[in-house]
Amino acid sequence: MSYFPGIKDEDFIRGDIPMTKQEVRILVLTKAKICPTDTIIDIGAGTGSLSIEAALQASSGKVYAIERHPEGAQLIRSNAIHFGADNIEVISGSAPEALQGLPIADVIFIGGSGGHLQELLAQSNSLLKPNGRLVITAITIETLYDALHSMQAKPEFTVEAFGMQVTRIKQVKSSNMLQALNPIYIIICTKGI
């Protein structure tokens, strides 16, 4: 099976767990600059949509998908089998505790913090290689503010951020309807040497 970034949302096995949408995944993956041998940690992996695409890009690397909800962890496993991504290790547990014992990473995604953002940012700093990328997706103003405030205060990081709003167009009979997705903010933090 050929892989191209931006797998359709409907191709994933889904449950009641939130999923990073296709358009967001494309931008996050672009900013993460994943190489084939990279080690990636996905904190708050949800259904595993981002973990799956990261694993397919890092075909000779490894993805550690951390998810605290048992249903989400099972969905990640099912999606990994569905897409043939056998380089994913699912860690069922809450971060930051679930980060213990993980190797140094090239890329870390934070998609959910469970109220532990500051601890996750500190732990991510110690787990990230020089030139590594930390990519945070925020759906709340508080997460956006806290992540920017914390990471911009660290001189070893270069920080960029942007917000995006996606509106899909769906054909309904002879008309086209606009369907807005929730706005999201993406913070990219690149660690210096």
Token reading at 75: 């969905």
- Which residue ranges form the domains of the chain, and what is each CATH number? 9-191 (3.40.50.150)
Which pair of tokens denotes residue 67?
């998810």
Write down the residue that tokens 């997460």 correspond to: 143
Q: What percentage of residues in the chain have a pLDDT greater than 70?
A: 99
Q: What is the pTM of this model?
A: 0.95
What pLDDT digit, counting tens, does each position of 163-190 carry?
A: 999 999 999 999 999 999 999 999 999 9
What's the pLDDT tens digit per position in 62-101?
999 999 999 999 999 999 999 999 999 999 999 999 999 9
**For 3, phi and psi rounded to 5 degrees?**
-115, 130
Would the pLDDT of 1 be above 70? no
